[in-house]
Amino acid sequence: MNPETKHLHLFFFPLMAQGHMLPIIDLAKLFAARGVRATMITTPLNVPIFTRAIQRSESLSTNMITIRAITFPAKEAGLPEGLENLDLVTTPELHIKFFHAINLLQQPLEQLLQECHPNGLVADRFFPWATDLAAKHGIPRLAYRTCFFSTCAQDSVTKNKPYQNLSSDTEPFIIPGLPDHINMTKLQLHDHIRLGFENDFSRLVGSARESADRSYGNIFNSFYELEPAYAELYKKEKKAWHVGPMVLSNRNNDEKAARGKKSSIDTHECLKWLDSKKPNSVVYVCFGTVTRFPDSQLMEIAKGLEASGQEFIWVVRRDEEEEDNSENWLPEGFEERAKGKGLIIRGWAPQMLILGHKAVGGFVSHCGWNSTLEAVSAGVPMVTWPVFAEQFYNEKFVTEVLKTGVGVGVQRWVKFVGDSVKSDAIEKAVKRIMVGEEAEEIRSRSRVLGEMAKRAVEEGGSSYNDLDALIEELRSFRD
């Protein structure tokens, strides 16, 4: 047999957004470590993120992962040149144009399929045309998914519409058909559901769901022990494999530091600062790549952190046009008072290394699935502060199913900027996960889950075995 043909060859095609690219890079590394040839598809300006992550990986032979760039149709979609990543989108108009550009990537991807003849396509769910494109080429399309709980909950809300006929947007409803009793309100749902209108994005979400349901199967960035009842519920009707936490494919400090954009702080300095702190004494505060809080909210966070008396690392991202302003988002003298006790990182932080450090005892997070799973993997309790997207479902999972976090009290889904939270609520939530008996109980549960996560991806673990089963099935399909 030709040595080239004995390897399975898969295409991996994530949406051009940090929170989508990073887990699919991790997934490609997992496949490549098992002898599957992986070709990562992205656009030119996103290539460095892929290159950094792959070059630092000790476990990979370099020829098992290749990167192919396809031109991003910014001009055709009416976008400014250089806007190739969703994290750079700042207005609703640009958001619509970005997803129009995403639609135009079908044709260049088809050319690559014809050229390379891969044995399968792992595509982001925001490429709803990927299922039919893969079928046209006689290969299976696998849809990347995050969490069984949020998927089951969103499917139930979409299908059953339990929010209809309520007397107000704040009246709670139960999500039907779930193993747990989960209440939500209409305010915590996607704005097109709450306001009862259809738009281009809501239609895209609908077609993405339908396309993923028709695909060969779904790969979940989760592990069986984390959500067994929801894995079973989902698998009753659809084909799925759980192969996470994919982030644990990054095993050494170099790999962890190279995941994502270049850190805005010297990694060694950051770790040295943490080394000087007692175990579980530092709270880490970070809201992902797309949340942009107004200065008034940053001021409340600063006051809440100071009042909590806890040591902290706080990652702050502000729009570039605001960055020249004076530090009017901080209370007067805040940084002086916080010297030695707090560290503000303006920009990008080495999150995996921070969460994995023994000094970190809590994580204030927007509940994006990547961050949530990183907290689970590190055994770190959370203060949940959802902003938009599926983050309110993830909050319910953390606080009510896993019981490894406490809510800060956010009531309303507001895209990008979030609902307003006052300093006293922040102070109270931070103290709840950092000090006292309740904090110890939450930390104990978090540690157990962290150990389970590590076992799941080791040889013989549930995720390790599920990945093996998937590779075997893809081999059978090819042969």
Catalytic residues: 20, 124
Residue 422 near residue 411, CB atoms below 8 Å: no
Cα separation, 416 vs 410, in Å, equals: 14
Ramachandran bin of 234, using left for φ above 0, alpha for ψ from -120 to 50, beta for the remaining angles? alpha
Region of residue 369 (left: phi > 0; alpha: psi -120 to 50; beta: else):
alpha
Query: What's CA 222's distance to the chain center, in Å?
Result: 11
- Residue linked to tokens 């009290």: 409
Q: Which two tokens stand for residue 93?
A: 């108009």
Q: Shortest CA distance to 98 belongs to which of 107, 106, 89?
A: 89
How far, in Å, CA of 16 to CA of 258, rounded? 18
CB within 8 Å of 340: residues ≥ 6 apart = none
Phi and psi dihedrals of 219, rounded to 5? Answer: -100, 120
Reduce the DSSP state of residue 184 to 3 states and report it.
Answer: strand
How does DSSP assign 232-289, residue by residue? Answer: HHHHTTS-EEE---GGGG--SHHHHHHSSSPPSS-HHHHHHHHHTS-TT-EEEEE-TT
Query: Which tokens is 140 given?
Result: 């299976």
Residue 401 burial (C-beta neighbours within 10 Å; 0-12, 13-18, 19+): middle
Residue 206 contacts by C-beta under 8 Å, 6 or more apart in sequence?
none
Return phi, psi of residue 101, to 5°. -60, -40
**How crowded is residue 204: how many other Cβ atoms within 10 Å of its Cβ?**
18
